Amino acid sequence: MNYKLVEILRAECPLFFRKPISIECLDGWFWLLLDTCRRLEALCANQLTAGKSVMVAVQVKQKYGALCIYVDDAPDAAHGVIADAEDASETVCEICAGNGSLRDGTWLWTLCDTHYREYRDSLKGDRGDA
């Protein structure tokens, strides 16, 4: 993800992103990730207020065409928030945030029709196909 977008996520969710991690997904999922992280940040604040261990992001990445968010010290409510985001990511293009679906090629991606065509065409070019 673009470093400027990562900085926005870190600024909006300082408890959740208090440890340095890389965010290994494309910019199309920024708004989905921002909404999800704000919800997780609220859970972090509740944990802090209650004097409990505070959830922290460990890894955020694309895996098998879906968003994957790994955390430590998650309260029960966080699992549903994360599952909802991971499910929703399979309908959002990773590149442009448009309507997408899970696509197969040499790799699994969630792409809109336009970006899938571009991806598919690039694969043909790599093989020397016309």
Rounded to 10°, the helix 30-49/76-89 angle is 180
Separation in Å, CA 8 to CA 12, 21, 31, 92 = 6, 14, 11, 20
| Token pair recorded at residue 99 | 């309507």
* Nearest C-alpha neighbor of 59 from the set 25, 32, 92: 25
What are 14-52's pLDDT values in tens digits? 999 999 999 999 999 999 999 999 999 999 999 999 999
Q: What element of type H or E holds 118?
A: helix 113-127
Contact 91/47 with Cβ under 8 angstroms? no
What are 70-106's pLDDT values in tens digits? 999 999 999 999 999 999 999 999 999 999 999 987 8
Q: Is the pLDDT score of 4 beyond 70?
A: yes
Domain ranges of the chain: 3-91
0.85 cut: is pTM over it?
Answer: yes
Q: How confident is the model at residue 10 (pLDDT cuts 50, 70, 90)?
A: very high
Separation in Å, CA 18 to CA 41, 55, 128 = 11, 10, 46
At residue 24, the pLDDT reads: 97
Distance separating alpha carbons of residues 81 and 110, to the nearest angstrom: 20
